[in-house]
Amino acid sequence: MADLAASVGADHVLPGDGADLSAYTVDQRRRYRGRAWAVVSPGGTDEVAAVLRLAHAQRVPVVPQGGNTSLVGGAVPDDSGRALLLSLRRLNRIRGVDADNRTLTAEAGVILQTAQQAAEAAGLLLPLSLAAEGSCTLGGNLASNAGGVQVLRYGNARELCLGLEVVTPAGEVWDGLRGLRKDNSGYDLRDLYIGSEGTLGVITAAVLRLHPRPRTVLTALASCAGLDDALALFERLQARSGGALTAFEVMNPQALALVAHHRPGDWPAGLGPAGAARGWTVLLELSDPREAGPAQARFEALLAEALGAIPGLGDLHPAQSLAQARAFWRLREAIPHAQAADGLNIKHDIALPVSRLPAFVAAADAAVRALCPGARPVTFGHVGDGNLHHNVMAPPGVAPADFLAANEAHVNRVVYDCVEAHGGTISAEHGIGQLKREALQRHQSPVALALMRRLKAALDPEGLMNPGRVL
Ligand code: ZN
């Protein structure tokens, strides 16, 4: 403890047996409650390296943490009380924006929204955008290869990262902070650390790729009889807009019913009565290099043509103002809050080939209903990326905690078997963490798992980095 205090300053070390550390040791969904030997908050890369050298010398496990917003228990310690919790929050400097190279260099503890604002101040766009953007940090975004609502156009965190600075478990610093679009000089270490969930080393800084800001952003809500109609609309708009769709989200009727019940204030005016029977609802966003007037006219013409061509398409609501566009997004963003208000549910963050989504949803919902009559699948997400949040809520009248305790393992099994049968993945954008470790063993190929174990053994031979996660 004295060595840690000497490395980072006594003010930045909190002993595990002292003050309340639950802000660090309990995860955001309150499923995992761990204990830490100590919480240490270094103020720079050199201090992170010093802490890791100490931990390495004394064989102390290290759990890196940014904004503590993991949805899979990826950033809280286990309950042994042995691990050192390494908070990256004090590494919060934007090191620079290179507008001509369209890059931003920032430290791991910078809040995503702060980085977005720094890009905006330079007249550019950092398109990584997700629900936790006001509190999640760049290091965690990269360590979990976060997705979000603009992946369709701009890619995951991985596609937005050009360079990394990483501290190894032994405390060496790899400076890979180069803003290069092309770099074939050996194995790609950057891509190895992105998505490694803190199990191979600690990301301390990154060079992020910025994009031009779109001149006009157009938003609409559409209702569709079925998911296949939503996909027909997706294909049509992709083809006829020259790939200008930036988001294409769906919400099933149960998801909207939850919002109507728990968050009626988030129901957009002009969309009919909250909770009225409707099929799948699409929230779509398209960017256009033209001025608002001509862009909106072209947008509405595109939508009107789609209405004539796709029989299952119902009402279409192109947003008439920025305020209305925001109201449409609030409806989508209200779903996780409405779910939380309703109680615990069984969550699946999955991806499938877009072409297989309707067949998957039909098969998975039938399997869940056969297993748990009355259970309510709440399905929404980034359908343009093939990524669904397929969550299962308790039947009405059944206590959510009891439902989870009795059924979670069985429901996961039938849903993930269905995902595998349709060529999908059990983790699309949230990672593996603790929550999906067993499922990974079952659904990832044995050869892939063996290669992952060899990588882990080579880069973290003592097994000190974020133990019990991923593998
Ligand atoms: Zn998502």
pLDDT digits (tens, 9 = 90+) for 387-412: 999 999 999 999 999 999 999 999 99
pLDDT tens digits, 91-124: 999 999 999 999 999 999 999 999 999 999 999 9
Ligand 1 centre from 235 Cα, in Å? 21
- Residue 55 confidence (pLDDT) above 80: yes
Ligand 1 centre from 386 Cα, in Å? 11
Mean pLDDT of all residues in 225-243: 95
Grouping H, G, I as helix, E, B as strand and the rest as coil, residue 40 is: strand
CB burial string 369-381: b at 16+ within 10 A, e below: eeebeebbbbbbb
Distance CA 414, CA 438 (A): 14
Distance CA 35, CA 81 (A): 5
In 3D space, the residue among 10, 23, 96, 104 whose CA is nearest the CA of residue 66 turns out to be 23
Ligand 1 centre from 12 Cα, in Å? 33
Give the predicted TM-score (pTM) of the model: 0.94
Strand pairing of 62-65 and 84-87? Answer: parallel
Ligand 1 centre from 203 Cα, in Å? 23
pLDDT tens digits, 163-206: 999 999 999 999 999 999 999 999 999 999 999 999 999 999 99
Contact 138, 212 (CB under 8 A): no
Ligand 1 centre from 184 Cα, in Å? 32
Q: At residue 313, what is the residue type? A: L
For residue 401, what are its two tokens? 């905690």
Ligand 1 centre from 246 Cα, in Å? 14
What is residue 275's predicted lDDT score, i.e. its pLDDT?
66
Distance CA 304, CA 227 (A): 19
CB burial string 155-170: b at 16+ within 10 A, e below: bbbeebbbbbbbbbbb
Contact 327, 394 (CB under 8 A): no
Ligand 1 centre from 387 Cα, in Å? 7
**C-alpha distances out from residue 337 to 142, 262, 343, Å:** 24, 8, 10
Grouping H, G, I as helix, E, B as strand and the rest as coil, residue 312 is: coil
Contact 94, 115 (CB under 8 A): yes
- Run of H or E residues at 103: strand 103-107
Average pLDDT, the chain: 95
